[in-house]
Chains A and B, each alone.
Chain A
């Protein structure tokens, strides 16, 4: 069991998983729309599969957001 935080909120993981799996677990409908910071460092998208999340890790999921006029749906789920 490992305890991590995602966007400041605690999460518990039963097993060691990759960032790709963590994105799935968090129901991010469009993974291509999220940037990930792991302990303050950006993770290259190519490394999402190979990067494992460990106990104590702090992750930030940053989403694309449009703007003033005709913002369209980019992220779904969750909030």
Chain B
């Protein structure tokens, strides 16, 4: 593709980067990335990928913006309260960068639609808040041989890993979803807003590294950090032969919608 004068100017700080250059920027502009969840993680991921010029960004989220989201979901602004998150996100993405084609899915990712939706994308980013969908993204990506970035945050902590076909998947580390009733109370743990930005921008960087082929992805490693101590730690992992989806004797051969904790569903309802 030929860049216009305006695009050369817009992407000049990428083009100047020796490892990226015009060629790398072209790869970014040709990239198709699906972001699952337009919340705390999805917000910075979407903003940075839009600014970087990712050609097609898909966003899937069934929620509407709530006042309590604004403490960390920086793609949504105060006037967006009650607006569908995917619409709010699309508006901001196009304000930052009109080059980006945004595809919105105002629904939940489910066992039924996951494979069909992800097939159109080069890379999937998990910005979700619940384990059933985290496992669904993992299984769908392993089955469809799609790379993805896992992200999780809690209180002052964050964790992320990148999967490419053949590397350790989320289930290699975490065999199956936590039992739905394992959570003793529904009290939400809360999260420091900036943690979402810290983790989301790491995930966005992984996407750009994947698209451009620059550097070493966070594969076979789980990066964790604690913002209270500001200690980052990388746990080296490897493909687990006993993994239920990508191990030697897989028991997960299709997609399932795991049950979310009952109390959690109720807390979601209350939030709406």
Cβ distance B260 to chain A, nearest Cβ, rounded Å: 10
Q: In the complex, A22→B126 CA distance in Å?
A: 32
| Contact of A40 with B238 in the complex, beta carbons under 8 Å | yes
Q: Mark A48-62, 1 if CB is under 8 A from B, else 0.
A: 000000000000101
Q: Mark B61-73, 1 if CB is under 8 A from A, else 0.
A: 0010000010011
Q: In the complex, A68→B41 CA distance in Å?
A: 5
The residue from A63, A67, A74 contacting B183, defined by CB atoms under 8 A apart: A74
Q: Which one of A65, A67, A73 has the highest number of Cβ atoms from chain B below 10 Å of its Cβ?
A: A67
Q: In the complex, A64→B173 CA distance in Å?
A: 10
Which B residues between 129 and 180 are near A, CB-CB below 8 angstroms?
Answer: 129-131, 134, 151-159, 172-175, 178-179
| Contact of A71 with B235 in the complex, beta carbons under 8 Å | no
Query: What is the total number of residues of chain A having a CB less than 8 Å from a CB of chain B?
Result: 27
CB of A24 closer than 8 Å to a CB of B? no
When distances are taken between beta carbons in the complex, the residues of chain A under 8 Å from B237 are: 37, 40, 42
Q: In the complex, A70→B194 CA distance in Å?
A: 15
Closest residue of A by beta carbon distance from B128: A67
Q: Mark A21-54, 1 if CB is under 8 A from B, else 0.
A: 0000000001011010100101011000000000
Closest residue of A by beta carbon distance from B237: A37
Given contacts A42-B240, A64-B174, A79-B157, contact A69 B39 (CB under 8 A): yes
Q: In the complex, A64→B49 CA distance in Å?
A: 26
Cβ distance A21 to chain B, nearest Cβ, rounded Å: 21
Given contacts A33-B178, A72-B183, A73-B185, contact A66 B152 (CB under 8 A): yes
| Contact of A65 with B157 in the complex, beta carbons under 8 Å | yes
Selected A-B contacts with CB under 8 Å, 27 pairs: A8-B233, A30-B184, A32-B178, A33-B178, A40-B236, A40-B237, A42-B242, A60-B235, A62-B173, A64-B178, A65-B152, A65-B158, A67-B130, A68-B37, A68-B200, A69-B39, A69-B63, A69-B129, A70-B268, A71-B153, A72-B267, A73-B154, A73-B187, A73-B189, A74-B178, A74-B182, A75-B154
Chain A residues with a Cβ under 8 A of chain B? 7-8, 30, 32-33, 35, 37, 40, 42, 44-45, 60, 62-75, 79
